[in-house]
Structure 1
């Protein structure tokens, strides 16, 4: 029970203000379908955190930290570019995608956004500390849901009042800053 509760608390707190909360808001304003988005977050989190819990100690022992830092930094910068691309579909086309489009987009985006993220790293560390996978994955998933579901619901509720262009700019800026910080972060510390 301790592994479950600690995992839930650690991830819920570390997820506040994280890039995936911003991603949840962005997806909610784009698709305006909260249920498939929430389900996509859930599926992506379970898959991602299960992989993290199983492979955390192997990655830490095998991958050079500098290579990992570069890979994650490049991913953040690529996501910054993606965030700047405006939707090419109108409201009618968004509706024609239905729940499947929002679900699939959310699942893929969240799975990729969590790669190398602090919550993924925390999941790996928690699984190593408690020497158990299932309670940790359940706890970290619950923590993600506690932090990200309100962002989806707020984004859905205020979508008509939020200018998607400014959300894209904010998302791009945050992803770019994260990427650049990771690239130069080690140089600043040495």
Structure 2
């Protein structure tokens, strides 16, 4: 349950203001069809985060077991600092050809999430909770949906209500706190 709750919270907070959330806003404004966009985000996230959690699980099983707890702890702290840097949507990441709202969202979201903060976080969550792979994927997917569904449904109204700076600071603090807690567990063991 710890893997699920941490995965959900960390991804939900770190996704706010992220380029994939900006992509969700752009797609919602372009298509005005929220249901296919939401399904596209859902399936793209499951595929992307399952791959990322598997990579984290695989890496944690390598002969790096002595160093892995330190790598994961430092990575969480680094991600916490990375979240403080706001994302901007690159023009070349916007979909070029129109395949309809579902396929366009599925492809664009999967590709935009590659190497993104939330994907990297999912890799490290997969490594940290190596025995809870499914809960990491379910949690990170739920976190993505919690952050992106309101963006699709309410668009720019959400951006006027939620102060991005505060949310980035909270997300950053969560990642750093987990990293520091991991360091404390390593040192006190």
Structure 2: distance between partners of 1:58 and 1:18: 27
**Measured at CA, do residues 78 and 5 of structure 1 come closer, stay the same or move farther in structure 2, by a change above 3 Å?**
closer
| Structural mapping, 1:85-104, within 5 Å | 101-104=100-103
When normalised by structure 2's length, the TM-score is: 0.62
Match of 1:80 among 81, 91, 95: 91
Structure (1/2) with the larger helix percentage: 1
Structure 2: distance between partners of 1:84 and 1:33: 16
Partner of 2:138: 138
SS at match of 2:155: helix
**Measured at CA, do residues 29 and 48 of structure 1 come closer, stay the same or move farther in structure 2, by a change above 3 Å?**
same
Structure 1: distance between partners of 2:57 and 2:111: 20
Offset at 1:123? 0.5
For the 8 Å contact 1:45–1:144, the answer to whether it is kept is yes
Structure 1: distance between partners of 2:13 and 2:107: 23
SS at match of 1:17: coil
SS at match of 1:56: helix
Partner of 2:174: none
- Structure 1 moving runs of 4+ over 6 Å: none
Partner of 1:26: 26
Offset at 1:130? 1.0
How many aligned residue pairs are there? 132
For the 8 Å contact 1:3–1:136, the answer to whether it is kept is yes
For the 8 Å contact 1:36–1:103, the answer to whether it is kept is yes
**Measured at CA, do residues 37 and 78 of structure 1 come closer, stay the same or move farther in structure 2, by a change above 3 Å?**
closer
Partner of 1:69: none
Offset at 1:103? 0.5
When normalised by structure 1's length, the TM-score is: 0.62
Q: Structure 2 regions of 5+ residues with no counterpart?
A: 63-86, 159-189
Partner of 1:16: 16
Q: What's the Cα RMSD here?
A: 3.1
